[in-house]
Structure 1
Amino acid sequence: MIDSDLQAEAVIAANDDSTVTRDDEWSDVDAIDVALIGSSATTAAEGVTVADGTVTISEAGVYRLSGSLEGSVVVAAPDDALVVLILDGVDIQNGDGPAIQVDSADDVAIALADGSENTVSDASSYADDADANAVIYAAADLTITGTGSLTVDGNGNDGIASTDDLVILSGDLTVDAIDDGLRGKDSLTVEGGTLDVTAGGDAFKSDQDDDATRGWILIEGGDLTTSSGDDALSAFTDVVVTGGTLSLDAGVGGTASDSAKGIAAGTVAVLDGGELTITATDDGVHSDGSVGIGGASLQISSGDDGVHAEQTLEVRSGEVTVDAVEGLEAPVLVVEGGDTTVHASDDGMNASVSDLVTSDVSITISGGNLTIVMGSGDTDAIDSNGDLTITGGTFDITANSSFDYDGNGSMSGATVTVNGAAVTELTNSMGGGGMGGGGRP
């Protein structure tokens, strides 16, 4: 039975709302110009001071920044202040720390002016105990919007980081960071824009670990391209994708990790929309809890499992194409619909115990189109170390061993072809590794 809690709407509703500054909450008509010149700046704004290469904004308001600065822009406004920084052709380089640093404010928005090209870069290293350790660092909720472009060169640590919520509404962002690309500690949301992220660590990250309703990533739209040494999308709790085009390459570069995953969720990963192309040295999609697929288009090439869940993995709809060692793996695996194609060198679909689920493992298939092509040798197309129940669906299997199950097995209402021949009766394969087949225990 499909679990409604593994749908995007339910997961989003169970989490704390993010804070976002919408474009209709401020106006560029109110903007006060701040001209950046060398290590100084000129402005008529009373809430702006300049000293030793640091431009400090201490009052709420809308500020239009232009020009070049060797130093930093610091927001130190009241805790209830909304500060909007319009970047209109800026080049900010700080050899001693962040280029833009928010020490205090309620909400901060960075707006990329139409047609503008903006560049920010930071120090080559940070002290181990440094709080502000990203090119753009905000100890407040941070929203990025606008139609211009922003290039972020992260020389010392992260590219863009917020200790609260980080929201990308729009813009053309290019981020290159030696550690994480974009990090929203409480949450990270992408609604639109074009984002090209190269990161030595995780490309997108949310790592709040003391609140079960925080530490999540939501991708609702946009065009995302990542190349990361570690995970492409990494969330302490949930990863939810409802739209957008995502090209995720995890486990590349000089800092590449053998455990790099395309999507890594601590609680739930839900893929209810969007077009995702994932290449990963480890699992393509991984959850320490459960995974729900309900409408996304997935193209996965991975060095381990295509999609892996420690609890439940369910496919409701969508297109899933996997080239991996194990195709789909979880203690409880449910397929209700969709088009699933698996090329695997071990098991195509595998239900096996995990640290969280040690009994009652099963595979249940009630619909969908499944094409499973196995490599030669001791492999199983569908392997359940528990029960196997098939009540519908269309199967096209090419394998030495088609079905393997340890518990009860039944098949009705399905159209099954194995190695070109129609199959009307479920036969338990005893070849290879015996009951449980050649798959991993």
Structure 2
Amino acid sequence: MNKRFISFLSILSLCVVMSGCSANTSNSSTTNTESKESTQTTTTQETESIGDIDTYIKLSDNNSTIEGLGVTVENNTITITESGTYSISGSLSNGQVIVNTNKEEKTYIVLDGVDINCSNSSAIYITSSEKTVISLADGTTNVIKDGSSYVFEDESSDEPNAAIFSKEDLTFIGSGSLEVDGNYDRGIVSKDDLVIQNGNISVASVGDGLRGKDSVVITGGNVTINAGKDGIKSNNSEDTSKGYVSIEGGTLDITAGQDGIQGETNVLISDGNIKISSGGGSENSSSSSNEWGNWGMPPDQNPQQQTITSDSSTEESTSAKAIKATSNITIDGGIIEIDSSDDSIHSNDSLVINNGTITMSSGDDGIHSDSTLEINGGTIDITKSYEGIESQVITINDGNIHVIASDDGVNAGGGNDSSSTGGRPGQNNFSSSSSSEININGGYLVVDATGDGLDANGSITMTDGVAIVNGPTNGGNGALDYDSTFNISGGTLIASGSLGMVQTTSTSSSQNTLNISVSAQEANSIIHIEDENGNEIVTFAPSKTYQSVIVSSPKIKSKSTYKVYVGGSSSGSEIDGLYSDGTYKNGTEIGSSSVSSSVTSITQSGITSTSNMGQPGGMQGGRRP
């Protein structure tokens, strides 16, 4: 457990900041000045570089040496008082480097193989500077550590609280290595913007790994984070243009006890190779753990012992989502791999995926947005989830999407949320609403759901694309479930499942649908549809046992007759159970019918169909007995 002490003794020999370290306005060896740029949510970060070295600092316990100006030494406390470029090497077993320079000028620090440990405060503490740029010298390894107990000069203060702590903008560059061990609370903190442009940075922390109050921006480098709480966090809730996290490149490997990446406003991902494990991973879900809400605490710490700092908002709730934002999440690219106990990607407002390759295993929702969710491209593979894709309004315009869900696959404004394990952080509080929508305008969607496949508490619309649903095997759920209408005017829909709660597309649809009911068929048993001339319409092998198959395709024409076969084999190529470019043979015909309306039923002899042809389900998705 972290402990805080207020010392009234003389602490000149300790590595803490004293009032005598106040900002100096003396002239710097670097005279270049520039105005501070306003933060933009679409970042255009200035590329920093290191010029000539002004001062060399060689650290050594009680014997540090300075070659140049702008530095004071008091025991093991090294204070940089003037803006300029400083090279630091050597080690301090219990000391501190302080930056206290002109707020209108930048300070550049080259870490050239340092090992700094401070037992009772931040090892690097930046109190004043327009911006501090830390460069990691090529070929060097730099180690920064703090202790588990801090001494504060002010009884009311709880800052600094990180191994590297800056009250100003902080940027990392260079190709060297940095190892940060945050034993008190956080690893690296900036009270303004925290930017990583390059470097091999490894952070282990009791609390958050990286925190930039106004923003965290990563454009390159290799970053590894092992955090007891959040991996990366920006928490400015007072300015809507701040409080965001932007990942624009680099390689990230985040293991977090709580959220992997959290933006108080937005999270923007345009590129990068990102791997996140949050809350112990998907195995630590509500179905396999009785301690939801205890994420991020050391094994020997009880919830009552958790340290709460003054900048913790009472509105913050403990969660273990991989990527989370209060306002918006936009993913334009990158390779993202997620293993999360809570939702893998979660927005409290809107979420847009334009591109990227995303693989996720979730103990709760795969992708969740409270308001709107739009997928315009990319490759998305949800290998495990409670509910796969969930929002009030879901729009799929493009993309290659695979979903496996233990409840609903794609859920617009409903599902089992209100009947989930009481109080679990992953619980979502949607209510039934006619404004809930699933809109499929393109793309390729494959769903494997134990609950409802496509579930809308309002309407479903499909105009193009391919949607394949391997729905439930139990009679209490359906491959399709909607409260209002399911109008289809284009694309290919194949939805298989049980017979208990079958819904077809609506009779108001402009594209024809076949509603097929058969005797119980084994998983991977083919169902084949052909027209009266023997031309293939669909050859499909559901991945689970089934009795119902709903097929809608532009190939199904009015006044034409279609035959349905089960079993047999196909010589065609198979992807996701759908065969193409082959010959079907040796099946058993179960029935045929001429298409005279937008929904036509074909039922095997002896089978009683209970389908609601184009009628609302009458119940909220996932709430059937």
Q: What's the TM-score, normalizing by structure 1?
A: 0.90
Bigger-Rg structure (1/2): 2
Cα offset, 1:53, TM superposition: 1.1
Q: Kindly report which structure 2 residues correspond to 1:260-299, keeping only aligned pairs within 5 A, or say none.
A: 260-299=320-359
> How many Å separate the matches in 2 of 1:360 and 1:146?
51
Q: Relative to structure 1, is the Cα distance of residues 439 and 38 closer, same or farther in structure 2, using a 3 angstrom cutoff?
A: farther
Q: Which residue of 1 aligns with 2:75?
A: 52
Task: Give the conservation status (yes or no) of the 8 Å contact 1:219–1:240.
Answer: yes
Q: Relative to structure 1, is the Cα distance of residues 428 and 94 closer, same or farther in structure 2, using a 3 angstrom cutoff?
A: farther
Cα offset, 1:155, TM superposition: 0.4
Q: Relative to structure 1, is the Cα distance of residues 317 and 20 closer, same or farther in structure 2, using a 3 angstrom cutoff?
A: closer
Q: Which residue of 2 aligns with 1:172?
A: 200
Q: Relative to structure 1, is the Cα distance of residues 429 and 275 closer, same or farther in structure 2, using a 3 angstrom cutoff?
A: farther
Task: Give the conservation status (yes or no) of the 8 Å contact 2:131–2:168.
Answer: yes
Q: Deviations over 1:366-386 (max 9, x none)?
A: 1000111123xxx11100000
> Could you say what secondary structure the match of 1:239 adopts?
strand
Q: Which residue of 1 aligns with 2:620?
A: 436
Amino acid in structure 1 at the alignment position of 2:494: T
Q: Relative to structure 1, is the Cα distance of residues 429 and 328 closer, same or farther in structure 2, using a 3 angstrom cutoff?
A: farther
> How many Å separate the matches in 2 of 1:16 and 1:78?
27
> How many Å separate the matches in 2 of 1:384 and 1:412?
18
Q: Which residue of 2 aligns with 1:392?
A: 464
Q: Relative to structure 1, is the Cα distance of residues 20 and 123 closer, same or farther in structure 2, using a 3 angstrom cutoff?
A: farther
> How many Å separate the matches in 2 of 1:154 and 1:232?
17
> Could you say what secondary structure the match of 2:272 adopts?
strand
> How many Å separate the matches in 2 of 1:38 and 1:429?
82
Q: Relative to structure 1, is the Cα distance of residues 170 and 406 closer, same or farther in structure 2, using a 3 angstrom cutoff?
A: same
**Aligned partner (choices 92, 99, 113) of residue 75 of structure 1:** 99
Amino acid in structure 2 at the alignment position of 1:74: I
Amino acid in structure 2 at the alignment position of 1:345: S
Amino acid in structure 1 at the alignment position of 2:367: V
> Could you say what secondary structure the match of 1:308 adopts?
strand
Q: Deviations over 1:219-258 (max 9, x none)?
A: 0011100111100001100001000010000003984488
Q: Which residue of 1 aligns with 2:392?
A: 331
Cα offset, 1:434, TM superposition: 5.1
**Aligned partner (choices 126, 138, 144) of residue 172 of structure 2:** 144
Q: Which residue of 2 aligns with 1:383?
A: 455
> How many Å separate the matches in 1 of 2:58 and 2:213?
32
Cα offset, 1:437, TM superposition: 3.3
Q: Kindly report which structure 2 residues correspond to 1:168-317, keeping only aligned pairs within 5 A, or say none.
A: 168-252=196-280, 255-256=295-296, 259-317=319-377
> Could you say what secondary structure the match of 1:84 adopts?
strand
Q: Deviations over 1:285-311 (max 9, x none)?
A: 000111100102111111110000010
Cα offset, 1:355, TM superposition: 6.4
Task: Give the conservation status (yes or no) of the 8 Å contact 1:20–1:141.
Answer: no
Q: Deviations over 1:44-82 (max 9, x none)?
A: 222100002110000010000000013000000011121
Amino acid in structure 2 at the alignment position of 1:156: Y
> How many Å separate the matches in 2 of 1:336 and 1:248?
27
More strand by proportion, 1 or 2?
1
Q: Relative to structure 1, is the Cα distance of residues 19 and 299 closer, same or farther in structure 2, using a 3 angstrom cutoff?
A: closer
> How many Å separate the matches in 2 of 1:144 and 1:411?
52
**Aligned partner (choices 129, 132, 140) of residue 108 of structure 1:** 132
Q: Relative to structure 1, is the Cα distance of residues 302 and 67 closer, same or farther in structure 2, using a 3 angstrom cutoff?
A: same
Q: Relative to structure 1, is the Cα distance of residues 428 and 268 closer, same or farther in structure 2, using a 3 angstrom cutoff?
A: farther
> How many Å separate the matches in 1 of 2:91 and 2:39?
44
> How many Å separate the matches in 1 of 2:199 and 2:256?
21
* Root-mean-square deviation over aligned CA pairs: 2.5
> How many Å separate the matches in 2 of 1:124 and 1:437?
49
Q: Deviations over 1:14-43 (max 9, x none)?
A: 94576956334x41x234211001144211
> How many Å separate the matches in 2 of 1:77 and 1:157?
26
> How many Å separate the matches in 2 of 1:372 and 1:18?
36
Q: Which residue of 1 aligns with 2:483?
A: 406
> How many Å separate the matches in 2 of 1:88 and 1:340?
47
Cα offset, 1:130, TM superposition: 2.0
Q: Relative to structure 1, is the Cα distance of residues 411 and 140 closer, same or farther in structure 2, using a 3 angstrom cutoff?
A: same
Matched, 1:321 2:384: no
> How many Å separate the matches in 1 of 2:160 and 2:612?
59
Q: Relative to structure 1, is the Cα distance of residues 382 and 281 closer, same or farther in structure 2, using a 3 angstrom cutoff?
A: same
Segments of structure 1 that go 5 or more residues without pairing to the other structure are 1-12
Identity of aligned residues (%): 37
**Aligned partner (choices 35, 44, 48) of residue 58 of structure 2:** 35
Q: Relative to structure 1, is the Cα distance of residues 439 and 290 closer, same or farther in structure 2, using a 3 angstrom cutoff?
A: farther
Q: Deviations over 1:119-166 (max 9, x none)?
A: 000121336732211000001100001000000000001000000000
Q: Which residue of 2 aligns with 1:415?
A: 492
Q: Kindly report which structure 2 residues correspond to 1:60-71, keeping only aligned pairs within 5 A, or say none.
A: 60-69=83-92, 70-71=94-95
> How many Å separate the matches in 1 of 2:64 and 2:356?
48
Q: Which residue of 2 aligns with 1:5?
A: none
Task: Give the conservation status (yes or no) of the 8 Å contact 1:39–1:54.
Answer: no
> How many Å separate the matches in 2 of 1:437 and 1:364?
17
> How many Å separate the matches in 1 of 2:485 and 2:39?
36
**Aligned partner (choices 413, 418, 423) of residue 352 of structure 1:** 413
Task: Give the conservation status (yes or no) of the 8 Å contact 1:404–1:429.
Answer: no
Q: Deviations over 1:382-409 (max 9, x none)?
A: 0000011011111222113221110122
Task: Give the conservation status (yes or no) of the 8 Å contact 1:390–1:414.
Answer: yes
> How many Å separate the matches in 2 of 1:373 and 1:288?
26
Amino acid in structure 2 at the alignment position of 1:293: I
Q: Which residue of 2 aligns with 1:6?
A: none
**Aligned partner (choices 92, 104, 116) of residue 116 of structure 2:** 92
Q: Deviations over 1:147-197 (max 9, x none)?
A: 000000000010000000000000001100000000000000000010110
**Aligned partner (choices 430, 436, 441) of residue 366 of structure 1:** 441
> How many Å separate the matches in 1 of 2:43 and 2:169?
9
> How many Å separate the matches in 1 of 2:111 and 2:296?
33
Task: Give the conservation status (yes or no) of the 8 Å contact 2:54–2:68.
Answer: no
Cα offset, 1:428, TM superposition: 5.6
> Could you say what secondary structure the match of 1:366 adopts?
strand
Cα offset, 1:356, TM superposition: 8.7
> How many Å separate the matches in 2 of 1:187 and 1:206?
5
